[in-house]
Amino acid sequence: MTTAIKDSLFIKSAFSQSTERPPVWMMRQAGRFMKEYWAIKNKYSFLEMCKTPEIAADVTMLPVDLLGIDAAILFSDILVTAEAMGGNLDFIQGVGPKFSNPVRSKQDIDALQTEVEDRLQYVADAIKVIQQRLAGSIPLIGFAGAPFTVLSYLIEGGSSKDFKRTKLFLNNEPALAHQLLAKIAKVTADYLNMQIAAGVNALQLFDSWALALSWDDYREFSHRYNVDIISQLDRQDIPIISFCKGSSVFAPLMAEARPDVISVDWNADLKHVKNSLPKGVAVQGNLDPYVLYADRAVIKKKILNLFERMRGEEGFIFNLGHGIMPDIPFDNVKYAIDLVKGFRY
Ligand code: CP3
């Protein structure tokens, strides 16, 4: 990592060093709330965009150029690992991801591949193109889906509100669930190490739907695989961010996996979470994204409240509690980012 990147607001905050203000980026910053995204999306399918390094780089750069955020995030999806393992994945407009061959049996699990680095080479290629475009200006965050969250899509065959099939599978077929989780974890660790080798400056593990699990099930079916993955990473000087919806409950367990940063949903008081964590674990978050639909005065008030709450804390990265929704007005996102950038501790 270059000295300039090491000294960036984002990397320093991720390693709990003091900065003049918190860095800001937003989950789903490279996406549908920008008309410039649609100009590209209307020409290609989502997977074509992910798999063509020049296009993935174009989309990654949109929020860098249009919003002036403090860290870029690779344009891709958490489900590319499952696709590389053998899932027939399609992203259907207005519906979301769909696997036409959901995993339902031991046979289905046995059929999934675990030596898939070649099939994910396009991601390494995209990272190299993006780093050329960024030219050392701001850090690039790579990412992957955590095994439990990826498993939920493979089992359900797509998104789910209640995770009924997933939970039934964990409850009735725990041995099979562990077989599947172990396979995904192996692919995920290799994939993240590939991203490090290709040049990312930070990594985020997305366990978006961990919130569906009880404490014991989270420990058994999610947490231990995240521990395995994080322990296998060739971390060098790269911070690791651990995200889940539910982190306000699971943060003490998440910290045991030794991430540098825990990304917190909007339910929790961020300072309270920070103070409950071991020293040296930073927090990221946690504005309710729905605030960004509101009037400017409301956006300003809520963001300032969060700052005042976090003033004096080392290791705070400003983000949302979850991703930007597609219909949030672009100008409100820009307004929020400019506000954070104007803040001084
Ligand atoms: O943050 C970024 O801007 C980087 C790119 C990124 C995408 N997906 C692009 C995307 C990242 C980091 C993700 C992660 C992701 N994908 C997660 C974890 C984060 C989270 O939100 O919890 C999850 C659960 C997915 C799975 C997924 N991908 C869903 C459920 C959907 C469709 C519905 C939805 O919420 O968007 C996608 C598609 C997707 N991934 C789009 C984008 C820009 C939309 C594609 C389109 O234009 O149709």
Omega of the bond leading into 275 within 30 degrees of 0 (cis): no
Decide whether any atom of ligand 1 lies within 6 Å of the 31 Cβ.
yes
Ranges of beta strands (E only) in the chain are 72-73, 89-92, 96-99, 140-145, 202-207, 240-244, 261-263, 282-287, 316-320
Enumerate the domain spans of the chain.
3-342
Cβ–Cβ < 8 Å for 238, 200: yes
Q: Which residue has the tokens 């003049």?
A: 20
pTM of the predicted model as reported, rounded to 2 decimal places? 0.97
Least Cα distance to 156 among 109, 101, 206, 207 occurs for 101
Q: How confident is the model at residue 94 (pLDDT cuts 50, 70, 90)?
A: confident
Question: Residue 88, preceding bond cis, omega within 30 degrees?
Answer: no
Whether pLDDT at 297 is above 90: yes
CB distance 208 to ligand 1 below 6 Å: yes
**Residue whose C-alpha is closest to residue 319's, from 22, 19, 5:** 22
Q: State the closest ligand 1 atom to the C-alpha of 63, by its place in the atom list counted from 1.
A: 3
pLDDT digits (tens, 9 = 90+) for 19-41: 999 999 999 999 899 999 999 99
The CATH fold of domain 3-342: TIM Barrel (3.20.20)
Residue 123 φ then ψ, to 5° = -70, -45
97 lines ligand 1 (CB under 6 A): yes
Q: Give phi and psi for 308, each to the nearest 5.
A: -60, -35
Residue with the smallest CA separation from ligand 1 atom 35 is 96
Q: What is the pLDDT of residue 284?
A: 98
Average pLDDT for 75-100: 97
Does 250 contact ligand 1 (Cβ within 6 A)?
no
Give the number of the atom of ligand 1 that is nearest the alpha carbon of residue 159: 30
> What pLDDT, in 10s, does the model give residues 128-144?
999 999 999 999 999 99
- Specify the 3-state DSSP secondary structure of 252: helix
Neighbouring CB atoms inside 10 A of 15's CB total 16
Judge if the beta carbon of residue 220 lies within 6 A of ligand 1.
no
- Minimum-distance ligand 1 atom for the alpha carbon of 41: 47
Query: Residue 98: CB within 6 Å of ligand 1?
Result: no
